Amino acid sequence: MRVGLVINPIAGMGGSVGLKGTDTSEVLEEAIRRGATPQAEERTYAAIKAAGELIGYEFITASGRMGEDVLRRCDANTIVVHCVSDGTTDRDTLAACSQILLAGVDTLLFAGGDGTARDVMDVVGERVPVIGIPCGVKMQSGVFANTPQAAGVLLRRYRVERLPSKRAEVMDIDEEEVRRGRINTYLYGYMLTPEETNLMQPYKLALGTGGEDDHKTEIARFFVESVRPGTLYILGPGTTLEAVGRQMGIDKTLLGVDLVVDGQLIGKDVDERTILDALERYSEAMIVVTPIGGQGFIFGRGNQQISAKVIKKVGVRNVVILATPRKMFETRTLRVDTGDEELDKVLRGYGMVVIGYSKQLVVPID
């Protein structure tokens, strides 16, 4: 099977340092200044290794970090159809996709986030099925596999089982608005993906509030009453955690990660390094997160600052999950994608989710 591969080498670099994306050169420079490192190649490597015997594939790709490097590492049959310089841009993604389609492929594997998905869609449309390897910060689109490993498994199943294709949503989000604490998302278009519900994430649902605010207040009140003195609380992003902040009387960032001790905000919109430094000062810590509605991710989407290193240092038993009944009705299964396969295995199984005042729900974690 002929497979196209396009990697956005800088995708997701802003996540661990709290920048919510790398959509401009200025933001990328700031991410590098803060110590961000590329992750897309390693996540693509994990996907390729999960795709089964590579003798069954012929990969069509771009040079260097946009695909060739990782395929050479995997000793895969590789054809380079587009050459790029060290500093890649969205124009390289567009050009690479165009050349790959001209060469003829059965499917296209791409690594990136929503911005990369939009670029791929501009060229590919619904001409061939695509599989997104999740590498961005907070991916809203339905063209991404749940994890890099799931992307590889899906590619293998598409080759062996000839899975049918379905239309999946590509969502548009303004990263500059996200950095200002506002979410503005709309449907950008559609691409085809292999039809396999368990391996692909659904697109992020834009849900109305209704009685949600009351539920969030109730959950927040119950949680705040259980807060322990002298404990560092790592509060993830989301409106449910924003309600926790209001209940604590602090100015919680909507889309960032904040640090709280004894009701005092000691770190606002922090990055991974700041969290790890704080964990050196406090012997007890808790991570508090809420799943992304419709997708169910509690780690690996929008909160990469709470990295595998952070989770291991805090301990998986010290993770608290908060979500409204409506969100859990629509989500059903929680998901993790920390980038650390062993940690993901530990986190999977079942977890307790606080869904109201003194009300908890046992939910599977995949």
pLDDT tens track for 185-194: 667 888 999 9
Between 10 and 111, residue with greater pLDDT = 111
Query: What one-character DSSP code corresponds to residue 187?
Result: E
Q: What angle do CA 39, 234, 275 make, to 5 degrees?
A: 50
CA 285 – CA 2 distance, rounded (Å): 48
Backbone phi, psi, residue 117, to 5°: -60, -40
* Mean pLDDT value of segment 274-284: 96
Q: Which residues contact 138 (CB under 8 A, 6 or more apart)?
A: 20, 113, 173, 178, 255, 292, 301, 302
- pTM value is 0.67
Helix (H, G, I), strand (E, B) or coil at 281: helix
Check if the beta carbon of residue 120 is closer than 8 Å to that of residue 97.
yes
Farthest-apart Cα atoms in the chain, separation: 62
Domain locations along the chain: 2-194, 212-365
DSSP 62: E
Closest CA to 41 of 66, 21, 60, 19: 66
pLDDT of residue 34: 59
In this structure, CATH architecture of domain 2-194: 3-Layer(aba) Sandwich (3.40)
* Residue showing tokens 């986030």: 113
Q: Determine contact, residues 143/196, Cβ cutoff 8 Å.
A: no
Any bridge partners for residue 260, and if so which? 233, 265
d(CA 106, CA 123): 15
Residue written as token pair 């869904």? 355
Instruction: Give the whole-angstrom CA distance, residue 29 versus residue 176.
Output: 15
The rounded distance, in Å, linking the Cα atoms of 64 and 83 is: 8
DSSP annotation of 244 reads H
Distance in angstroms (rounded) separating the CA atoms of residues 79 and 69: 12
258 pLDDT exceeds 90? Answer: yes
Average pLDDT over residues 204-223: 74
Would you state the pLDDT for residue 347? 94
The encoded tokens of residue 197 equal 């519900």
Strands 232-235 and 285-289: parallel
pLDDT at 143 over 70: yes
Q: pLDDT (tens digit, 9 = 90+) per residue, 83-111? A: 988 777 889 999 999 999 999 999 999 99
